[in-house]
Amino acid sequence: MSEVIGLCLREERIDGVVVHRGFGSVRVLHSFSLEAADDVGGALRAKLRELGVRGRRVHVGLPRRRAVVKMLDVPPVAGADLRRMIGFELERHLPFPPSDAVFDFHVLDASPGQPSRILLVAAERRSTERVQQLLRDAGLTPRLVDLTIHSLGALAGRDRDGAPRAGSVVLHLEDGEAELVVVRSGRPILSRAFPLPDDAPGRGRVLGEELRKSLAGLPPDDRAAVTEVFVTGGHAGGPGWTELPVRTGIPLPSGLAGLTPDSPFVAALAVALRHPLRGSLRTNLMPEELRPRPFPWPVAATAALAVAALLLGLAIPVATAVRDERRLAALNRAIEQLGPEVREVEQLVGAVQRARREAETLRGFDSQHVPLLPVLRELTDLLPPDVWLTNLSIDRKGLELAGFAAAASQLIPLLEASPTLDTVEFTSPVTKGRDREQFRLRAGWERAARPAGTRSP
């Protein structure tokens, strides 16, 4: 996936880890400490170059004493901008002017018609500007600036499988100072910082008193939800300073490799594991204009739909062509199967067309007032059986016959004996074959039998 750098800022040093986020796993690539010298930005750049770190994204954890953390009740106002309402209330809760403040919050409890309980986190703008200058000198891009103890609380507020715990307290001890956070359901609900004595008995006494004081200020249900105390960074002194079970170190999430729960870099790891836009804790002390923006899912969904529509538009002609090709192949197969029937139909069509032409011819004779059927009947009776006609043409003037006969000369007296025909003569010489004579002759209509409507020549 990507590399993320987690930095934990202290008064005299900077602790850092470099983690690589994968699908379902996190691996710590490097861990380091730097002294807080004058050119700490350049030293940080050189250290990252030495380690071969290419990632530029960084999460920064600040000490608890650099910020103001308060639990506030905001009255319910329908449709109101909660951030603006809190901005109006800052002057009552901050020891510095609100114009010099960078703040964020997360909602602890919000019920319809009831005041919303929030946890306010605010810091002076100059503190965050110094952090931004340090990161610019190191060539890094900040994505998250928050309190280290809150990140530790968010890490301790969930078990190894990511399920939120009911309630717990995290104590981070370091350099004569303790930072305390109370976590419920994976979210900080209170945090404090206080000095610690060097001797073990005094340290245990102060821890016990501060823990009791912190829990006493919580609502009863939050106080009752706290079931254990996690101690990181140092030794808490002798036993007996609290009645709650005390656990050393914070169980790390499953799938994480490269770091142990008792490592001094657990605080920097907790900062690196934070996500600016996801999770139960989303406070971020970066200026509003520099915070990472959530991914524009509506715009992405619209773009995806547009791309899908474009691809669908391009796919339709292809799919249509493939479908038409398949249909054409199926039709060709069907045509091949219907070939014999088609040829039979074509023969029938040819016969029908010939019959139509013959019918048209007969209708033409009728239109010319030629007694076709009587003439054909008469020719059938007159012509000998050995006559084979190859052509018969009838019009108003008479008829023409062509064909073969055993004795063509005998046809003229036979036809002249007809009461319908007159002036029978050969139109071309008779051609003799092996056993037949080919003839062509013409006959006119008998005047008395001339078809109606005809005139005498």
pLDDT tens-digit series, residues 12-54 = 899 999 999 877 788 999 999 999 877 899 999 999 999 999 8
Assess whether 334 and 403 both reside in one domain: no
Angstrom CA distances, 381 to 96, 298, 378, 387, stand at: 138, 99, 5, 12
- Which pLDDT band, with edges at 50, 70 and 90, does 367 fall under? low
Assess whether 132 and 61 both reside in one domain: yes
pLDDT for 293: 74
Burial 315-327 (b: 16+ CB within 10 A, else e): eeeeeeeeeeeee
Q: Determine, yes or no, domain membership for 454.
A: no
The distance in angstroms from the start CA to the end CA of the chain is: 113
pLDDT for 5: 95
Domain boundary residue, one of 261, 294, 327? 294
Assess whether 202 and 344 both reside in one domain: no
Assess whether 168 and 258 both reside in one domain: yes
Q: Is the pLDDT of residue 369 over 80?
A: no
Assess whether 117 and 219 both reside in one domain: yes
* Mean pLDDT, residues 71-83 taken together: 79
The whole domain housing 386 covers: 372-445
Does the pTM surpass 0.75? The reply is no
Q: Are 267 and 233 in contact (CB under 8 A)?
A: yes
Burial 228-238 (b: 16+ CB within 10 A, else e): bbbbbbbebbe
Q: Is the pLDDT of residue 373 over 80?
A: no
Q: Determine, yes or no, domain membership for 455.
A: no
Q: Determine, yes or no, domain membership for 457.
A: no
223: left (phi over 0), alpha (psi -120 to 50) or beta: alpha
Please tell me the distance from the alpha carbon of residue 155 to that of residue 252, in angstroms, as a whole number.
Answer: 8
Q: Determine, yes or no, domain membership for 456.
A: no
Q: Is the pLDDT of residue 191 over 60?
A: yes
* Mean pLDDT, residues 378-388 taken together: 88
- Which pLDDT band, with edges at 50, 70 and 90, does 365 fall under? low
Angstrom CA distances, 170 to 175, 232, 250, stand at: 17, 8, 9
Read off the pLDDT of residues 249-285 as tens digits, 9 standing for 90 and up: 888 888 888 888 888 899 999 999 998 888 778 899 9
Q: Determine, yes or no, domain membership for 323.
A: yes
pLDDT for 74: 85
Q: Is the pLDDT of residue 452 over 80?
A: no
CATH number, residue 416: 3.30.1360
Domain boundary residue, one of 246, 267, 294? 294
Assess whether 151 and 13 both reside in one domain: yes
Assess whether 244 and 326 both reside in one domain: no
Read off the pLDDT of residues 415-441 as tens digits, 9 standing for 90 and up: 888 888 888 899 989 888 878 899 999
Assess whether 260 and 336 both reside in one domain: no
Please tell me the distance from the alpha carbon of residue 156 to that of residue 150, in angstroms, as a whole number.
Answer: 10
Q: Are 34 and 44 in contact (CB under 8 A)?
A: yes
Amino acid at 261: P
CATH number, residue 193: 3.30.420.380
Assess whether 198 and 249 both reside in one domain: yes
pLDDT for 370: 61
Q: Determine, yes or no, domain membership for 63.
A: yes
Q: Determine, yes or no, domain membership for 171.
A: yes
Domain boundary residue, one of 335, 367, 399? 367
**Total domain count, the chain:** 3
Q: Which candidate, 169, 151, 193, 181, places its Cα nearest to that of 67?
A: 193
Above pLDDT 70, what percent of the chain? 94
Q: Determine, yes or no, domain membership for 49.
A: yes
Q: Is the pLDDT of residue 316 over 60?
A: yes
- Which pLDDT band, with edges at 50, 70 and 90, does 66 fall under? very high
Read off the pLDDT of residues 116-157 as tens digits, 9 standing for 90 and up: 889 999 999 998 999 999 999 999 999 999 999 999 999 998
* pLDDT higher at 322 or 291: 322
pLDDT for 440: 92
* pLDDT higher at 345 or 211: 211
* Mean pLDDT, residues 224-231 taken together: 93
Assess whether 422 and 352 both reside in one domain: no
- Which pLDDT band, with edges at 50, 70 and 90, does 80 fall under? low
Assess whether 343 and 434 both reside in one domain: no
Q: Is the pLDDT of residue 453 over 50?
A: no
* Mean pLDDT, residues 218-241 taken together: 88
pLDDT for 457: 35
Assess whether 168 and 132 both reside in one domain: yes
* pLDDT higher at 4 or 291: 4
Degrees to nearest 5, angle at CA 174 with 52 and 95: 100
Q: Which candidate, 152, 83, 73, 153, places its Cα nearest to that of 122?
A: 83
Q: Is the pLDDT of residue 454 over 50?
A: no
Q: Which candidate, 218, 206, 150, places its Cα nearest to that of 178?
A: 206
